Amino acid sequence: MNTETVLKNNKTSEIVEKLSFFTKISYGLGEFACGMVWSLVSSYLLFFYTDVFGLPGAAVAILLLVARVWDCVVDPILGLIMERTNTKKGRFRPYILYGAVLLGIFNVLTFYTPSFTGVWKIVYAGVTYLLLGTFHSMVNVPYGALATVMSRSTDERTSLNSFRGFFGTIGGILTGAAVMPIIIMLGNGNSQKGYFYAAIVLSLVSMPMLFLTYANCKEVVTPEKEERPSVKESLMAVVSNKQLLIVMAALFILFTGLFQRLGTLVYYCIYDLGRPDLIAVLFTLLSVCMAIGSFVPPIAIKYIEKKTLLQIGLAITGLGFAGMYFVPSSNTTMIIVLSVIACIPLGFNSIMIFSMTADCIDDNQVKTGLRSDGAIYSFTSLITKISNALVGVISVAALGIVGYVANAQQTPEAINGINTIVNLIPGILFLVAIIPMSFYKITKERADKNSSILTERHKERTN
């Protein structure tokens, strides 16, 4: 059995569903698979469209903008639909099973270069990319919500998200290192074939991992008929849940700071440090440190509150990034040291956010009698995408304001501006994210009590 129910004789008569190590690995591999498929998109799609596929830059910009608007519509709708799904396999697992196949297919089609010309080429790119994003949401939204229904134990959910963070980070490291060699080797000098074959390889490797997630991650928390919300009630579960809004505010600020730094770090290495060779070093260091940080939550939450751990992580990361602003560009050793200090907490900051989101879902269910995990996780996904898109626009504008000129010798003002954009502003944002968390009220005791209440309600209905 993947799930063993253990009775704990304590004040709340809590029932804790312990998940096996294999179950947690199976869940983590789902993030590895999603990251593997999406890595080709996030790292290489822009270059593929302009230099391989042959689209004009303006068409690519419009396509990417339309895709973000499309996400704003699709993600909440998918969350509402999944919340109302009722099958023998659960509410979320069927979408992971069938979505895995569609995600793999459209990942391949997106990186296929047809013999079309003119507007039809743009149409092909638009249709395949929008559907790829749709099927990525079809897998990713239920995957995130799945952790909330695999166990009622808040500690087990944190552990699940730690496995998710660890495998997602490892997937990013391995895929980042393997993609370009695959493109070169299989393309044999033909970039169009190289990207197409690379997409096939990544899709074929990722799909079995998602199948494993589907097979071994069972849904044990199933809302009764009277606990299923209407569309209006699902939306209200998001906008009227004060504790959730606090977590979402912290998530938005955190990801805005993170994406700001990731999207502009290349400029800092090239123009401020004069060390393009450090680009790969700092990005790899980021991934390795995040993998290390993902091991912290399961141990730390036994002794301190999730809120406290998150605030400590935000403070360390914020001070680390902001501190780099004051380090001379010649002192690369100190920059690397501060990068390590700042990036390890990144490995558990997002884990704590997602774990606390699950606690907010339970807390709202105790108060209202309704469970809206699908809608809530779809908005979590949407916030991530909005912050990513917003940062892209702001970063381009900020570089222009500080006087950055592409492929040119930068002025002292521009160099200082880049340093501000890459280090100081993200550092400040991480520190600002601490503020909303000061108002978060769901303690471990309250989360455990909620789990006990919901378990007792379920027992009463089934007896």
pLDDT tens for residues 326-360?
A: 999 999 999 999 999 999 999 889 889 988 998 99
pLDDT score, position 64: 78
**Rounded to whole angstroms, how far apart are CA atoms 287 and 253?**
20
Higher pLDDT, residue 15 or 290: 290
Q: Is the CATH number 1.10.3720.10 carried by domain 239-463?
A: no
List the structure tokens of 177.
Answer: 């290192």
Residue 145 near residue 374 (C-beta atoms within 8 A) = yes
Rounded Cα–Cα distance for residues 116 and 192 (Å): 14
Query: From CA 52, how far away is CA 363, in angstroms rounded?
Result: 50
Provide the pLDDT for residue 413: 93
Minimal CA–CA distance to 430: which of 349, 351, 353, 352? 349
pLDDT at residue 8, rounded to an integer: 40
Residue 14: strand, helix, or coil: coil
Query: Looking at residue 224, what is its pLDDT?
Result: 66
Query: Is the per-residue pLDDT at 226 higher than 60?
Result: no
Query: Does the pLDDT at position 280 exceed 80?
Result: no
Give the whole-number percent of the chain exceeding pLDDT 90.
44
Q: What is the rounded average pLDDT of the residues 109-134? A: 92
Is 278:266 a contact under the CB 8 Å cutoff?
no
For tokens 């938005």, the residue is 252
CA-CA distance, 226 to 368, in Å (whole number)? 11
> What backbone torsions phi and psi does residue 15 show, to the nearest 5 degrees?
-105, 115
Sign of CA dihedral 66, 125, 95, 258: negative
Does the fold of domain 239-463 match that of domain 1-222?
yes
Looking at mean pLDDT, say which of 58-67, 144-153, 195-204, 294-303 comes out highest. 195-204
Mean pLDDT of 224-250: 81
Residue 62: per-residue pLDDT: 84
pTM of the prediction?
0.76
pLDDT at 166 over 80: yes
pLDDT of res. 88: 87
pLDDT of residue 400: 85
Measured in degrees and rounded to the nearest 5, phi and psi for residue 19 equal -100, 140
Count of CB atoms within 10 A of residue 100's CB?
27
Task: Assess whether pLDDT exceeds 70 at residue 260.
Answer: yes
Q: What is the mean pLDDT of residues 266-277?
A: 88
Over the chain, what is the mean pLDDT?
Answer: 86
Residues 299-319 have a mean pLDDT of 94
pLDDT score of 317: 97
Using alpha carbons, list the distances in angstroms from residue 398 to 58, 183, 272, 313, 413: 20, 34, 16, 27, 13
What pLDDT does residue 211 have? Answer: 96
Whether residue 383 contacts residue 255, with contact meaning beta carbons closer than 8 Å, is answered with yes
CB < 8 Å & 24+ apart, contacts of 1-8: 2/216, 2/217, 2/218, 3/150, 3/151, 3/218, 3/220
Query: Span 231-235, mean pLDDT?
Result: 77
What's the maximum distance between 2 C-alpha atoms anywhere in the chain? 75
- For 204, the 3-state DSSP assignment is helix
CATH H superfamily, domain 1-222: MFS general substrate transporter like domains (1.20.1250.20)
Q: What percent of the chain has pLDDT over 70?
A: 94
pLDDT: is 66 or 340 the higher one?
A: 340
Bridge partners, residue 18, by sequence: 4
The torsion of the CA quartet 71, 149, 435, 416, rounded to 10 degrees, works out to: -50
**What pLDDT, on the 0 to 100 scale, is given for residue 135?**
93
Q: What is the pLDDT of residues 128-161, one digit of tens each?
A: 999 998 999 899 889 988 988 898 888 888 888 8
Q: What is the pLDDT of residues 7-19, one digit of tens each?
A: 343 343 344 468 8
Which pLDDT score, from 0 to 100, does residue 70 have? 87
Tell me what pLDDT residue 225 has: 61
What is residue 11's predicted lDDT score, i.e. its pLDDT? Answer: 41
Q: pLDDT digits over 195-223, tens only?
A: 999 999 999 999 999 999 999 999 888 77
Dihedral sign from CA coordinates of 80, 84, 90, 95: negative
Phi then psi dihedrals of residue 401, to 5 deg? -65, -40
The pLDDT of residue 6: 36
Where does the pLDDT of residue 168 fall: very low under 50, low under 70, confident under 90, or very high at 90 and above?
confident
DSSP string computed for 311-339: HHHHHHHHHHHHHHHTS-TT-HHHHHHHH
Q: How far apart are CA 54 and CA 191, in angstroms?
A: 12
CA distances (Å), 381 to each of 106, 248, 295, 348, 362, in order? 20, 10, 23, 18, 19
- For the chain, domain boundaries: 1-222, 239-463
